[in-house]
Structure 1
Amino acid sequence: MSSSPDTDRFKTNELALRVQKKLASKMSNKSMVKMYIDDRSGHLLDNLYRVIKTYTNNKKQSEKIIKSVIKIIIKSSLLIRNKQLSEQELSTCETIKTKLQSLMMSFISFYEVDFSYDFSYLNKQLTQIRTLLVTLLSKHMQPKNVQKLENLFVFFNNKQFLDTIFNKKNEIYRPYMTTIVTDLNVLLDGNS
């Protein structure tokens, strides 16, 4: 039984994608990150790490959270770059992008405008994004990676965490939050 060139090529492409995903999960180091995450986003993630580390007082947990964020970004980028998503899934990606931009604007507003922070509003936005991402990526990722994604949202959608970082009286977070908000503004301006 001979195989057609199309089937051989498809298997090769599929294998190449699996290898890229495997490499992405093993190599979330700086060189791999630079291929998929620009300097501004990297700077934002550095400061997000500092906020998480300050909040948790746990370096290992903070590194694990940021590493999971990076892996999700890289794996999602690989799916898009390698044209592994259907038209419907690409449409979902656009919806996620729009909702992320809205979340970023809310984050900025809640930080810059006194007494505007609203956990319920952020909770709703984060829950919608989580649902869309999990639905989208569960078809393309191992269950353990989908669980990591779920765990990220459990952490970031935690009321105590959000209340703490948005509390203007919490001076320890101010330098990081100011820098994060600056980075978010630049990222939003670049996406206009």
Structure 2
Amino acid sequence: MDSGAWCARDISMRAQKKFLSRVGGSASARALVLDDHAAKLLDQFLCVLRSRVEKREAEKMVKHVIKAAVKLGVLRRHSQLSPADDRALAAFRTKFHTVLMAVVSFSEVDFSYDREFLQDALRESHQSLKSVVERHLSDKSVSRLAGVFALVSRADLLDSLFADKIDEDVLKLTRMLRKELDRGLL
């Protein structure tokens, strides 16, 4: 009986991940799995990306972020993450928090932009997350996340965001990030 329950649980989890991978990009699916704050941040991030990369590529990157977050949420909900995975995710959160704080400071403090620092912080964040994702998600999901981090680490993209005068879309995104960081939600 235990092995049957285990199989049913495993099948249920795989079905949820598969379902979410199919609908992860639609607005209705985002509403089911993202809170309002996260959805607004991702929408603003998409707006910033669309003005700097091809529209389809920008949308695909945001969709990949959503899918990965949802899949990791499903794994956590079903207690599939080991203590080592939880530590790696905590390390990711800490490192990504550093990335977000740097992004906010680059927009708030003139002449503070440091591309190498941001690229290193993004690389470290990716490595922490990758260690968990590789054990639990498909190679395709791992590749998608690598693509997201490769895009946001591109020198030309980062320079367009912070090297010169910062445009209104980027300022709006960083103000949103600052608010969420101040509230302790990121």
Question: Does TM, normalized by the shorter one, top 0.5?
Answer: yes
Matching residue within 2, 9, 17 for 1:13:
9
Matching residue within 21, 27, 30 for 2:23:
27
Asked if the contact 1:33–1:74 (Cα under 8 Å) also holds between the matched residues in 2, the reply is no
Pairwise CA distance, 1:190: 3.0
Q: TM-score, normalised by structure 2?
A: 0.94
Asked if the contact 1:72–1:149 (Cα under 8 Å) also holds between the matched residues in 2, the reply is yes
Task: State the secondary structure of the residue aligned to 1:169.
Answer: coil
Percent identity over paired residues = 29
User: What is aligned with 1:178?
Assistant: 171
Task: State the secondary structure of the residue aligned to 1:191.
Answer: coil
My pick for the range that moved more, 31-40 or 71-80, is 31-40
Amino acid at match of 1:61: E
Pairwise CA distance, 1:134: 1.1
Q: TM-score, normalised by structure 1?
A: 0.91
Indicate whether 1:139 and 2:135 are aligned: yes
Deviations 1:99-136 (A, max 9, x none): 11111111100111000000111011100011111111
Asked if the contact 1:92–1:136 (Cα under 8 Å) also holds between the matched residues in 2, the reply is yes
Any unmatched runs of 5+ in structure 1? none
Asked if the contact 1:44–1:179 (Cα under 8 Å) also holds between the matched residues in 2, the reply is no
Matches of 2:164 and 2:51, distance apart in 1: 15
Question: Could you say what the CA RMSD is over the residues aligned between the two structures, in angstroms?
Answer: 1.3
Pairwise CA distance, 1:30: 2.3
Which structure ranks higher in relative contact order (CA pairs < 8 Å, sequence separation ≥ 6)? 1
Task: State the secondary structure of the residue aligned to 2:46.
Answer: helix
Matches of 1:50 and 1:87, distance apart in 2: 37
Matches of 2:32 and 2:100, distance apart in 1: 23
Matches of 2:51 and 2:152, distance apart in 1: 14
Any unmatched runs of 5+ in structure 2? none
Pairwise CA distance, 1:137: 0.4
User: What is aligned with 1:118?
Assistant: 114
My pick for the range that moved more, 120-129 or 26-35, is 26-35
Note the 1:141-156 alignment, pairs <5 A: 141-156=137-152
Q: Which has the larger radius of gyration?
A: 1
User: What is aligned with 1:53?
Assistant: 50
Question: How many residue pairs align between the two structures?
Answer: 184
